[in-house]
Amino acid sequence: MSTSSTSSLSSEISMENFLTLFVTQLQNQNPLDPTDNTEFMSQLAQFSTLEQAQQQTEYLSDMSSIGSASLQLDQISLASTFIGKTIKYSDDSDSSETLSGVVEGVKLEEDGTVSFIIGEESVSISNFIEVDNTTTTTGSSSAASSNILSKLFGKK
């Protein structure tokens, strides 16, 4: 039996099915030649280990989802501090070109990324470069937020 068919078979058989099979075999065994239960106990232990591994995988998947949601929330919160401020950002079509605009809002895209709304355009926060201090007067908190956002996305 190949590894892939073993994996699919083990995921299809539940603990209840396994125990039903075990009890059925015990009921139908030859009384003069009883079955050695050692192999069944070994399989039961392996089955329990497999179930625990599946539960751990589900738990880790849930934790990963929570972590992703938390990161999105942090990004939305941080990006919203730039509403009303003029920022510089790189152009999607030409990353060497720097554009600027006033952040009017923040949007969570369908793919889970966070974008600034600048005019009619959605600008990914990964394109953020810095707050444009030449057109707005900003306090130290927006400069600090700008620095944090730059570090978060690796752009300076």
Give per-residue pLDDT as tens, 109-120.
888 889 999 999
Q: What is the DSSP letter of 115?
A: E
Mean pLDDT along residues 58-65: 84
Q: What pLDDT, on a 0 to 100 scale, did the predictor assign at position 129?
A: 87
Q: How confident is the model at residue 86 (pLDDT cuts 50, 70, 90)?
A: very high
Residue 149: count of CB within 10 angstroms of its CB: 22
Percent of the chain with pLDDT over 70: 77
Q: What is the DSSP letter of 125?
A: G
Q: Is the dihedral of CA 94, 107, 117, 99 positive or negative?
A: negative
Mean pLDDT along residues 11-35: 78
